[in-house]
């Protein structure tokens, strides 16, 4: 049996005045953070997936129905289970230990943090730690990580919590060949002072002869603090872009140049398509053209090569004001506006 375990029972102390961090909404998919956190793994490798959270969080936020709906939409509902703990644990290791014991989990387990993303392909059930290299990141809080030293055979020679001993750090993915080994080692360490990290369990097992291997990852995203999460969110945009005078030279349903005969503003189109192709920008096209011109408008957009995610027709031909809410999880300002001179092909100069 191969089991993915996703602990979600933490305190979220680095996310003040928000819901538990794993419940926050991903800026491009609108799914829970925790749902997105596992999608870089080859999930068909696992026989079952356990999400471990607090009963108190369900009582307070009633998230379960929405979460199960997400898992169903992703085709993960048949192998997924949500387990509730009656009270807070002292560490992630204790959360995993309690789950294994209560659900009688056997065989290979892979523990995945809920507050980060990475891509990797798991191929076997050996002891392993997913890692990334500091040299491949522009900005990271290095003091919050655990670090690995790997030998020439990709065997972990040392693992240390919150101390930089190499450029190779753990990204929150830990594989154990046997859940029983994890539990027996946790029981040995659980009475020691201080928090028992998963890295402590790995180090203790290594002292008694177990071998752990490095599993290289790509596309690592750190969502471990509110600052890091907000920085990630700022990379994503939803653009509301008027068609006439912005994508094509202004046209009208009343007099020439008629709708559909405007000239494409090529650099604006190129710039917007580049943003959209980054997978961090959604484009909602807007227009005062009536709804009965939708098909003609779509044909025009296809002809000029303008990609989009949604098309809103029939807006009043007047001043447009964007009103949006802000909160700790969606900080001020949550919206802004760009006023572009009509038929200007210099949108990129106005876009920050």
Secondary structure (DSSP) of 154-205: SBEEEEEESS-SSSEEEEEEEEES-HHHHHHHHHHHTTSSS---HHHHHHHH
Peptide bond into 257 cis (omega under 30): yes
Is the separation of the CB atoms in 82 and 68 below 8 Å? yes
* Mean pLDDT of the 128-140 span: 86
Residue ranges of the chain assigned to CATH 3.90.550.10: 2-232
Q: Which residues contact 312 (CB under 8 A, 6 or more apart)?
A: 284, 285, 286, 287
pLDDT tens digits, 136-190 = 887 676 677 889 999 999 999 999 988 888 889 999 999 999 999 999 999 999 8
Q: What is the model's pTM?
A: 0.89
Split at pLDDT 50, 70, 90, the class of 256 is confident
Which architecture does CATH list for 237-350?
A: 3-Layer(aba) Sandwich (3.40)
DSSP SS3 for 123: coil
For 29, 68, 76, 259, the CA distances from 32, given in Å and listed in that order, are 9, 11, 14, 41
Residue ranges of the chain assigned to CATH 3.40.50: 237-350
Q: Supply 61's token pair.
A: 């936020």
Residue 278, number of CB atoms within 10 A of its CB: 11
Q: Which residues contact 108 (CB under 8 A, 6 or more apart)?
A: 1, 2, 3, 125, 175, 176, 177, 178, 179
Distance CA 147, CA 201 (A): 14
Residue % of the chain over a pLDDT of 90: 79
Q: Give the count of alpha carbons within 13 A of 69, CB side only.
A: 7
Looking at 3.55.50.30, 3.40.50.720, 1.10.1740.10, 3.90.550.10, the CATH number of the domain 2-232 comes to: 3.90.550.10
pLDDT tens digits, 214-233 = 999 999 999 988 889 999 99
Helix axes 92-103, 179-189, angle to 10 degrees: 130
Give 41's DSSP letter.
B
């Amino acid at each position: 049996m191969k089991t993915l375990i996703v602990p979600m029972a933490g305190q979220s102390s680095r996310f003040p005045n928000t819901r538990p961090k794993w419940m926050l909404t991903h800026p491009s998919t609108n799914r829970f953070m925790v749902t997105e956190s596992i999608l870089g793994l080859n999930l068909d490798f696992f026989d079952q997936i356990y999400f471990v959270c607090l009963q108190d969080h369900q009582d307070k936020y009633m998230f379960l129905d929405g979460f199960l709906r997400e898992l169903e939409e992703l085709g993960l509902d048949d192998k997924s289970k949500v387990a509730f703990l009656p009270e807070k644990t002292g560490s992630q290791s204790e959360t995993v230990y309690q789950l294994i014991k209560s659900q009688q989990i056997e065989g290979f387990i892979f523990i995945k943090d809920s507050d980060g993303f990475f891509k990797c392909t798991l191929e076997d059930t050996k002891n392993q730690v997913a890692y990334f290299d500091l040299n491949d990141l522009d900005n990271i809080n290095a003091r919050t990580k655990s670090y690995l030293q790997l030998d020439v055979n990709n065997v972990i020679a040392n693992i240390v919590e919150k101390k930089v001993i190499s450029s190779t750090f753990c990204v929150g993915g830990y594989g154990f060949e046997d859940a029983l080994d994890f539990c027996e080692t946790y029981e040995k360490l659980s009475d020691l002072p201080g928090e028992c990290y998963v890295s402590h369990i790995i180090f203790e097992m290594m002292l008694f002869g177990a071998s752990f291997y490095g599993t290289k990852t790509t596309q690592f995203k750190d969502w471990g603090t509110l600052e890091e999460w907000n920085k990630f969110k700022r990379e994503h945009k939803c653009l509301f872009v008027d068609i006439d005078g912005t994508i094509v030279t202004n046209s009208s349903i009343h007099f020439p140049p008629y709708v559909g005969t405007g000239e494409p503003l090529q650099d604006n189109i190129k710039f917007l398509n580049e943003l959209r192709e980054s997978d961090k920008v959604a484009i909602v096209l807007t227009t005062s053209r009536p709804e009965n011109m939708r098909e003609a408008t779509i044909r025009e957009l296809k002809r000029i090569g303008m990609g989009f995610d949604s098309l809103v027709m029939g807006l009043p031909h007047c001043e447009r004001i964007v009103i949006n809410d802000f909160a700790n999880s969606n900080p001020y300002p949550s919206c802004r506006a760009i006023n572009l001179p009509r038929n200007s092909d210099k949108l990129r100069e106005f876009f920050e």
